[in-house]
A = this chain, B = another copy of it.
Amino acid sequence: MEGYPFTHRVRVRFAETDAQGIAHHASFVVWLEEARVAYLAAFAGGYRAIRERGIEAFTTGVHLEYGRAAVFDDVLEIGVRCGELRGARFRFDYQVERDGMRIVRGWTMHATVDAATHRPTRVPEWFVADVLRAEGTTPSGPPAPASPSPSSRP
């Protein structure tokens, strides 16, 4: 998907629909998480690796804009990119498409904390390096692009 280094596919479950006959809007929050987990598995050793190194990542923000509805059995492509990464925070951007047409877009914010103390801790170097590599940016680049995209939140 244009602008997204990674895509993940989900199929709408019947349990995820509602009485309006469409996928319930909360289902997308779960799908974005699944797509994010798949991104991390592909590029940063996986979510388990992060937890095993004593770091927990909490979700601190969710933002979704629904343009079109999805229905039962639809196959959806979810584009994922790391939109920001600095200090103890990172943001993922998403675009959900069906047959090449965008139906939903959004972002999620996350904070990393020490699993033992639950105090904020910087996103680990190896994680930053892996993600920047995935995003096609090098950490040795000029300061500005150190965060893959400017922090202009959509």
Contacts and interface: CB of A to CB of B under 8 A. Distances in A.
A46 B73 CA distance: 10
Total identical chains: 4
Interface in A31-77: 33-34, 37, 46-48, 56, 58-67, 69, 71-73
A24 interface: yes
A66 B73 contact: no
The A interface is mostly helix, strand or loop, or mixed, namely mixed
A140 interface: no
Interface stretch (A10-18, A81-89, A92-100, A120-128): A10-18
A62 B61 contact: no
Contacts of A13: 30, 33-34, 37
A75 B25 CA distance: 23
Classify chain A's interface size.
Answer: 35 or more
B66 A25 contact: no
Nearest to A41: B73
Contacts of A17: 18-19
A20 interface: yes
B65 A64 contact: no
Interface in A88-111: none
Given A19-B71, A20-B56, 15 more contacts: A13-B33, A14-B19, A14-B34, A14-B47, A15-B30, A17-B19, A18-B18, A18-B19, A20-B58, A25-B29, A26-B30, A29-B62, A62-B63, A62-B66, A63-B63
